[in-house]
Amino acid sequence: MDSNKDVFLDLSMLAGRELDFYYFTINNYDFLINSNLQTLSQKYGVGMSFIYGFFKKLNVSGLKEYIYKLGILHGVSLITKKNDKNGCNSQVLTLIQDNYQVSNNINVVMFQDQQAKFDELVAILSQAKKIYAFGAGHSLIALTDLCGMLTHFGLVTQILERGKNITKTISSMTKDDILIIFSMRGLNDFHLQLLKLIRRERIPGQVVLITSNLNSELNKYTNLSIFIDNQIRRIDDLEDNLIFSPLWSFLFFTDYLKNLFYIKNKKLIDAKDSFLQEMNSWHDNKRIEK
């Protein structure tokens, strides 16, 4: 899948049974994400040529890209069901559960499609002299989680804060350093000006962006961009009476990256006292930390 392709499905190209098939995939999304072309054609009762023609009309390369675009555009109709103002607590729980499940499924498809990028990022982190991280709000929370574990892995990290000599710090980067930026919408002008400065001044080092915005201008100034799901974009919070945090996909990303890095460097990391103490502490419910 080309990450820069338009994420919308042009339904105007569909007619008759093609539209029926489209609505079938929405209403059977859980089945869809666990299917291959053969099981999907058998379930709906059409030949493989019908599905290939369906994908061609929607300008998608195959089943993976269709699942991804379907989720981005519609959020799988489970999420967009209206939440009655007098609904019970169990309904709210179900809607929240559905939303996270859909977001997880979309992230899995997106991450599988970008596996080469994850492998590249793990390699960059393994060789980095120092890892700088920058984000704000929910992004900062996720970066704190990531950098905390990377430090236990034995890596050197520094979380940057806007207004605290960040430009001076960035200017001191070397070719062995890396800057990781988290930006869900990819529309922060401060991020853009910072990346333009790095390009203009030819500051060495790798720049990595984690965002949900495939068309962000920030992507022009990075060595590597990895895309994640934005679950809020699919929901009209006020209309649907639902409130969600944009933090979830970032944490899904950081957990996946941490595990990939750990698996790749397991022997070295297992020898780190800091890492062992951190992991063991989560199983100790009696000892009070000082």
CATH number listed for the domain at residues 115-281? 3.40.50.10490
Angle (CA) 199 257 172, round 5°? 30
Retrieve residue 67's tokens: 């699942």
Q: Looking at residue 87, what is its pLDDT?
A: 54
Q: Looking at residue 230, what is its pLDDT?
A: 86
Helix (H, G, I), strand (E, B) or coil at 2: coil
What does residue 160 show for φ and ψ, rounded to 5 degrees? -90, 145
- Helix 247-264 crosses helix 115-127 at what angle (to 10 degrees)? 60
Retrieve residue 173's tokens: 């980067």
Residue 149 and residue 145: Cα distance in Å, rounded?
7
Q: Domains of the chain: which residue ranges?
A: 11-113, 115-281
Out of 9-13, 19-23, 96-100, 220-224, pick the least confident. Answer: 9-13
In the block, residue with structure tokens 């951190």: 278
Q: Looking at residue 236, what is its pLDDT?
A: 57
Integer CA distances (angstroms), 196 to 129, 175, 218, in order: 23, 17, 9
Q: Which of 68-72, 236-240, 249-253 has the highest mean pLDDT?
A: 249-253
Q: Nearest to residue 85, comparing CAs of 248, 238, 187, 204?
A: 238
Mean pLDDT of 235-240: 56
Retrieve residue 86's tokens: 């007098």
Could you tell me the pTM of the whole model? 0.71
Long-range (24+ apart) CB contacts under 8 A made by 9-17 are 9/58, 9/60, 9/69, 9/70, 9/73, 10/58, 10/59, 13/57, 13/58, 14/54, 14/57, 14/58, 17/46, 17/50
Residue 13 and residue 10: Cα distance in Å, rounded?
6
- Helix 115-127 crosses helix 89-113 at what angle (to 10 degrees)? 80
- Residue 157's Cα: distance from chain center in Å? 21
In the predicted model, is pLDDT for residue 90 greater than 80? no
Q: Looking at residue 82, what is its pLDDT?
A: 46
Long-range (24+ apart) CB contacts under 8 A made by 198-202 are 198/170, 198/173, 201/171
